[in-house]
Chains A and B, each alone.
Chain A
């Protein structure tokens, strides 16, 4: 059975609460209502949200599709999803997520060890359940999509009855409709009072208050703030757009999250992009004492003021073949400062880390001991790009025989390197003087020079090494951001519309020699009551406004 017959004879769709023709509450529906809209504080009176119109999802439940649809159309289910996401999110903050682990964890085993060693059994369970990567887990993502589904279906389901309800405001309501309103009052009209004149007076008073007046004979309906009823739909559309934006980040090429370390003077490829970036110079500035508004006890420390990398961004014309000699064209130049990334088209380079005062090159002066310690010339050994051979003075050269950037004695008792970073450089050098036919070997390690022969002719005097800063830059592309911001703006418009304004309606009707006054609003009853009181005073009618909710 698809339809409900009202006493007046009109056939209404299933789910209708108030007859579409006469506005009489439909009794059968009220008793059949168990879930959705029933007890809304107005006791047995129907929900006023769609002025009693049928909401689509409540109508049919015969197929699987309908059942799935109706599940997601339920606000109860939506609230359930919100609560589950809320609880899961909170659990995810008990211990740090994997990306926020403060120590390096290169392998999965290290990650597991971090949680069990730092947080004991609880940490172990946390890891085993996958909570260390909760927000990107399949089930959390599924929850977010479920919320999106609920948003879409709830909106689709409610937008049509709302449109109908708002577009066809009924002026002449059934008496039982008026009496069912939360704010209601009535008064006997004296014989000489003209209903039309009272209605005119009321209309005038209400118009002054900013109401739109609808008249049907002597009956009157005044309305204001109708547009605020669209607020919830608009904010839900905003949220849907927002979630679409979030989903779009997963489209290949839409989102990039990379990191690159650049030494001062170095030009490196920006990973996964056709760009190269050069670190011209890096510097950290500190607040000077004069700049500080108040003298602080910093214990000899300092407060940083600025982390800045002066950078040049290049586009590589030869980007199709990674590793091949790049053809660089400068596209942008300028500082990269925290909070002020370098932005070029979709790419942003964000200042996000630094290793300061790192060894860049070692400096020596070659000394000729035979000539009474006379300096022959300076030697610079670059630790990243060491020259195999250096010309020092006239006819004297220095060859690099071996170089271990991070010296360690290997298990086979041979020198080796621990990493490829110059943390503890060791050089084996040979000084060759062709004109004197001298060949001497020497080793530099940990700030000392060891010559092969104790009475060697040449030795090295150690000078201050070159110290460089290595700047850490985050590389980001996020093409979905405009969509996400757009969604956020729409959401804000929606909530402001819905929450900062109210939809108010006041009915004035005459029935069997009595004046009936009723009011409804979706929020701020206090304000509506005040307006109705003013109306009563202005029309000078002895109406006592009842508040039905207190009965």
Chain B
């Protein structure tokens, strides 16, 4: 019991340290030209502080992984909370490796905030240590999920470097297709931030809306009763054919279409709508504050960084992450599937999406190595690749239910 408490604290400490590290990284990169400073000296000093904050945070998270593993008796990769937190751990690990190779301060300015967002996202899910259901009781759970997460973490660093390349090189003097797409990617990141903010705020406020569905379900006592759905966020969209049992902060504006499957479909749609709305509001506020494109806001901090180096870091991360991902998400997955289900491949949606990620990065590598897609094209692909990974992790788990559907949000 105390061990779990300790592991929770360690994770909280890691979170705080990552936030601090992110802030110091931003100061290191944007404060270079503050009056009376030597830019190089400034970057070096703050960059080093930020790096060490990240290292200590990483050690704290290592402590979390170890203590939770011991307390739970299994690797902390068995539900959505544990998996996202572990993925975050892998992103930071990949960052530390890439930093050791290239010693470039600015990578941290992009990767650490990504780490903060991912860790905050994991906090949205139930945090209890649950015992393993039979399907997960296999050492392949540890091997497959940890390797896949490591691969995805390294690919995430490839994404961060690709995004940096774009922020650095897309000309901001006038609006083009490139600037619009770049703003779109940044807005999507803000949607994730918005979702996390909304969800954690409302979870604390306890303004739940409860609906009763027109379908029945057996309860634990073996009696039939109407299914209930609980919304943490205010309800924009109600489940199809439902009645409100406990009213929340607002009355629903419309009902979800009937074809949306599953009792939680409408709630997921509602969450999605709030993410988009809050992300756009955040984006709007930032635009109003800075009075220019967010890409243009970020660009000065990257001035003086060799874009070719960013391109190479992105490619390097992907070329290291690709074999690790293949091994973890496809090969180990196949071996486990062969053992658990007697077939190594079954076209389960999660399997298919892992294959899609793999095919996409295969295309990336061929385009880069054979067709000379370097620079901007390559950077866009690294961004799209990470979006596909996010779809695989989030959308497929939460929207398309399959053999891999974890319990959770």
- Interface residues, chain A, CB within 8 Å of chain B? 36-41, 75-76, 78-79, 82-83, 85-86, 89-90, 92-93, 96-97, 99-100, 118-120, 122-123, 135, 232, 257, 287, 291-294, 296, 299-301, 303-307, 337-341, 348, 350, 352, 474-476, 478, 481, 484-485, 488, 491-492, 495-496, 499-500, 522-526, 547, 549-550
Contacts and interface: CB of A to CB of B under 8 A. Distances in A.
B341 A89 contact: no
A499 B372 contact: no
A293 B343 CA distance: 33
Given A352-B341, A481-B338, A339 B363 contact: no
Contacts of B335: 485
Contact of B366 (A37, A82, A526): A82
Interface in B59-109: 71-73, 102
A499 B319 contact: yes
Contacts of B284: none
A329 B316 CA distance: 59
B322 A499 contact: yes
Contacts of A76: 371
B129 A293 contact: yes
Nearest to B140: A339
A41 B372 contact: yes
B304 interface: no
Nearest to A341: B342
5 contacts: A86-B360, A339-B135, A341-B339, A476-B343, A526-B312
B372 A478 contact: no
B326 interface: yes
B300 interface: no
Interface stretch (B15-23, B173-181, B285-293, B345-353): B345-353
B348 A296 contact: no
Interface string B319-335: 11011001100110011
Contact of A550 (B308, B338, B344): B308
Contact of A523 (B257, B319, B347): B319
Given A39-B372, A293-B129, A352-B342, 17 more contacts: A83-B363, A93-B349, A99-B347, A118-B259, A292-B129, A293-B4, A294-B71, A301-B220, A303-B130, A339-B339, A350-B342, A488-B331, A492-B327, A495-B326, A523-B315, A524-B312, A524-B316
B347 A135 contact: yes
List of 8 A-B pairs having minimum Cβ-Cβ separation, nearest first: A476-B342, A300-B220, A338-B134, A75-B370, A40-B372, A339-B138, A350-B342, A495-B323
Contact of B261 (A118, A291, A294, A478): A118
A252 to B, nearest CB: 18
A305 B134 contact: yes
A166 B185 CA distance: 43
Given A76-B371, A492-B323, A305 B131 contact: yes
Given A118-B259, A304-B134, A478-B338, A500 B356 contact: no
Nearest to B358: A86
A299 B220 contact: yes
Contacts, number: 162
Contacts of B334: 484, 488
Given A294-B4, A350-B340, A526-B102, A89 B135 contact: no
Contacts of B138: 339
A409 B360 CA distance: 60
A407 to B, nearest CB: 22
A75 B315 contact: no
Interface residues of B, number: 67
A93 B402 CA distance: 10
| Residue among A293, A496, A522 with the highest chain B CB neighbour number at 10 A | A293
A85 B220 contact: no
A164 to B, nearest CB: 19
A293 B131 contact: yes
Interface in B138-170: 138, 140
Contacts of A85: 359
Given A100-B348, A118-B259, A348-B342, A82 B131 contact: no
A212 to B, nearest CB: 23
Nearest to B72: A293
Nearest to A350: B342
B74 to A, nearest CB: 10
B220 to A, nearest CB: 4
Nearest to A90: B356
Contacts of B348: 100
B309 interface: yes
Contacts of A75: 366, 370-371
B60 to A, nearest CB: 20
Contacts of A40: 372
Nearest to B141: A339
A39 B370 CA distance: 10
Nearest to B332: A488
A338 B1 contact: no
Contacts of B347: 92, 97, 99, 135
Given A118-B259, A293-B4, A492-B323, A89 B355 contact: yes
Nearest to B339: A339
A79 to B, nearest CB: 5
B128 A296 contact: yes
A100 B319 contact: no
Contact of A86 (B71, B327, B356): B356
Contacts of A492: 323, 326-327, 331
B374 A300 contact: no
B303 interface: no
Given A82-B363, A135-B347, A294-B129, A339 B312 contact: no
B266 to A, nearest CB: 15
B362 interface: yes
B400 interface: yes
Contacts of A339: 134-135, 137-138, 140, 339-340
B259 A496 contact: no
Contacts of A348: 342
Given A485-B335, A488-B331, A492-B331, A78 B342 contact: no
A79 B366 contact: yes
Contacts of A293: 1, 4, 71-73, 129, 131
A87 B344 CA distance: 22
B393 interface: no
A114 to B, nearest CB: 11
A75 B375 CA distance: 20
A120 B374 CA distance: 44
Contacts of B35: none
A549 B306 CA distance: 12
Contacts of A340: 339
A39 B368 CA distance: 11
Nearest to A38: B372
B326 A287 contact: no
A339 B316 CA distance: 37
A306 B134 contact: yes
A76 B366 CA distance: 9
A251 B342 CA distance: 18
Nearest to A78: B366
B205 interface: no
Most buried by A among B4, B316, B323, B367: B323
A307 B352 contact: no
B125 to A, nearest CB: 15
Contacts of B134: 304-307, 337-339
Contact of B362 (A82, A90, A92, A296): A82
A301 B366 CA distance: 51
Nearest to B340: A339
Nearest to B137: A339
Contacts of A481: 338, 344
A474 B341 contact: yes
Contacts of B355: 89
B372 to A, nearest CB: 4
B344 A478 contact: yes
B133 interface: yes
B396 interface: yes
A40 B372 CA distance: 4
